[in-house]
Amino acid sequence: MRARAAAAAAGPRRPPSSVGNQACRPLSATGGGVRHGVRHQGSRCHNGRVTNLSDADADAARIARRYPPARTPRWLWLPVAIVAGSLLVVWTVWSGLHHANPPAAAHIVSFKVVSDTQIDALVTVQRTDVRSRVECQASSQAISYDTVGQLPFTWEPNGEELQTDWISVKTFKKPVTVQIDWCKVVG
């Protein structure tokens, strides 16, 4: 009963905050004290280990424990980046030179829709070897983007690098456009 009266006279009691399983309470009015033979400062709590590190040192130690040093040395990344960059440059140059001049290429110069079941196209084929035979495929599309007709065609060599001629693609639905799917040298 006397303890309750003393507690009521002292004012409202704050619940202690806790870290882990230990309660944190102010130790004295001056902000420090001795408890269990260990000097404490203010209401600072700890997890059972006594440390005399400042706040910045404690934070640095905590962060170092949480994030260990990298396994790969920092100096190793520079040669790896140089090798990767060199390989990227070599691949880019090779890819550009390899695909810049294909052995055979074709494109549609113009086209006209003849009927609901036919589209004609003026096609130009270019080949690097004028003695080679070229095989290509053209396809036509409807307004719904469906492929409605395909025509594989072969052009025999005529001694010229560029060859232009008309082709007719038969369709099962009204076509609106025609395109070249692929073109390759066959012999």
Question: Is 118 inside any structural domain?
Answer: yes
Cα–Cα dist 152/138, whole Å: 6
Question: What confidence score (pLDDT) does residue 9 get?
Answer: 57
Q: Report the candidate in 56, 60, 55 with the shortest Cα–Cα distance to residue 44.
A: 55
59 and 124 assigned to the same domain: no
Does 98 reside within a domain? no
Question: Do 124 and 181 lie in a common domain?
Answer: yes
The residues, any chain, with a CB within 8 Å of residue 168's CB and separated by 6 or more, are: 114, 118, 119, 120, 151
Number of folded domains that form the chain: 2
Residue 18: pLDDT band by 50, 70, 90 thresholds?
very low
- Residue 158 in 3-state DSSP? coil
Q: Report whether pLDDT(93) > 60.
A: yes
Q: Which domain holds residue 178?
A: 104-185
Residues of the chain with pLDDT > 70: what percent?
A: 72
Q: What's the CATH number where 160 sits?
A: 2.60.40
Q: Judge whether 61 lies within some domain.
A: yes
pLDDT mean over 27-55: 55
User: Per-residue pLDDT tens for 95-153?
Assistant: 998 888 888 999 999 999 999 999 999 999 998 888 889 999 999 999 999 999 999 99
C-alpha–C-alpha distance, residues 55 and 39, integer Å: 16
DSSP string, 141-178: E-TTS-EEEEEEEEE---S-SEEEEEEEEE-SS---EE
**Percent of the chain scored above 90 by pLDDT?**
46
Whether residue 90 lies inside any domain: the answer is no
Residue 88 belongs to some domain of the structure: no
Q: Are residues 110 and 177 in the same domain?
A: yes
